[in-house]
């Protein structure tokens, strides 16, 4: 697979000291990558560097050419003051990128298909601020789908969702990876990328540690990073690792 992005000894951040030091990573097209770590550990910083919104303080970041990115924000990051319906939100990028905001037939088809695939077609005329958190997050994913990107970046997509909404949403995210797209999934909890991602980036004390899900299940590795013992559970093909007392 061609390289999507390569970090070479990159220091990333907003000034001195950097948030992340000496990042060495190569992400290939089509990979499914989970970014895991506590709040403030640098997940968003790396994401911004992947997006090209943040340049390295030192070192190099090389991007493969011609990839289209779509960002799926956290539900509470969206500005709900605007009276936008679910359909408005899904169509917004296409309208925004065209002079005069007029949609083409293809734009409408893409938006309709994205809403069906994300399970929000039946609520498309409801205001975004009046639907549930899970539906709002699905709408954000539908907006990303409608842009037909090569790379999806999902920032804490399950934050604030109840367990059923989380399950349904994760099934939708899994479908993105299976379609051969590159997926970056930011999460503060381990079990979500553990079950969805082929590679997991653990953020710890200003460094990024690249692991496979199998390595994550190696409890000694987690204990080294987090300093507390973990246990591993598996049921019906779903895996969890949780810290113990």
Concatenated DSSP letters for 190-238?
SHHHHHH-SEEEEEETTEEEEE-HHHHH-HHHHHHHHSS-EEEEEETTE
C-beta of residue 151 within 8 angstroms of C-beta of residue 120: no
Asked if 150 is part of the footprint of other proteins (rule: CB under 8 A), the reply reads no
Closest to other proteins by CB, 43 or 217: 43
Closest to other proteins by CB, 101 or 180: 101
Asked if 69 is part of the footprint of other proteins (rule: CB under 8 A), the reply reads yes
- Footprint of other proteins on 170-189 (CB under 8 A): none
Site size toward other proteins (CB under 8 A) is 31
Closest to other proteins by CB, 103 or 209: 103
Asked if 148 is part of the footprint of other proteins (rule: CB under 8 A), the reply reads no
C-beta of residue 196 within 8 angstroms of C-beta of residue 170: yes
Tell me whether residue 53 is exposed, middle or buried, using C-beta atoms within 10 angstroms of its C-beta: 0 to 12, 13 to 18, 19 or more.
exposed
**Taking contact as CB under 8 A, which single stretch among the options 81-89, 165-173, 190-198, 212-220 is the one that binds other proteins?**
81-89
**Taking contact as CB under 8 A, which single stretch among the options 2-10, 17-25, 63-71, 157-165 is the one that binds other proteins?**
63-71
Where do contacts with other proteins occur on this chain (CB under 8 A)?
51, 53, 68-73, 77-79, 81-85, 88-89, 92-93, 95-97, 99-101, 127, 143, 147, 149, 153
């Amino acid at each position: 697979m061609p390289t999507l992005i390569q970090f070479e000894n990159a220091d990333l951040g907003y000034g001195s000291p950097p948030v992340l030091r000496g990042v060495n990573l190569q992400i290939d097209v089509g990979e499914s990558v989970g970014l895991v770590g506590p709040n403030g550990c640098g997940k968003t910083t790396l994401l911004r560097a992947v997006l090209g919104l943040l340049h390295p303080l030192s070192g190099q970041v090389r991007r493969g050419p011609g990839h289209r990115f779509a960002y799926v924000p956290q539900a509470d990051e969206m500005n709900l003051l605007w009276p936008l319906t679910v359909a408005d939100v899904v169509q917004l990028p296409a309208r925004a990128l065209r002079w005069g905001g007029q949609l083409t037939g293809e734009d409408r088809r893409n938006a309709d298909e994205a809403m069906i695939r994300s399970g929000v077609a039946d609520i498309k005329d409801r205001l975004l601020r009046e639907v549930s958190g899970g539906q709002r997050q699905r709408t954000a994913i539908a907006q990303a789908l409608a842009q037909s990107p090569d790379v999806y970046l999902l920032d804490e997509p399950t934050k604030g969702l109840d367990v059923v909404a989380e399950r349904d949403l994760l099934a939708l995210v899994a479908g993105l990876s299976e379609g051969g797209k590159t997926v970056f999934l930011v999460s503060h909890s381990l079990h979500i990328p553990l079950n969805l991602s082929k590679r997991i980036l653990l953020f710890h004390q200003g460094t990024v540690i690249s692991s496979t899900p199998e390595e994550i299940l190696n409890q000694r590795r987690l204990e080294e990073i987090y300093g507390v013992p973990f246990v591993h559970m598996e049921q019906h093909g779903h895996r969890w690792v949780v810290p113990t007392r």
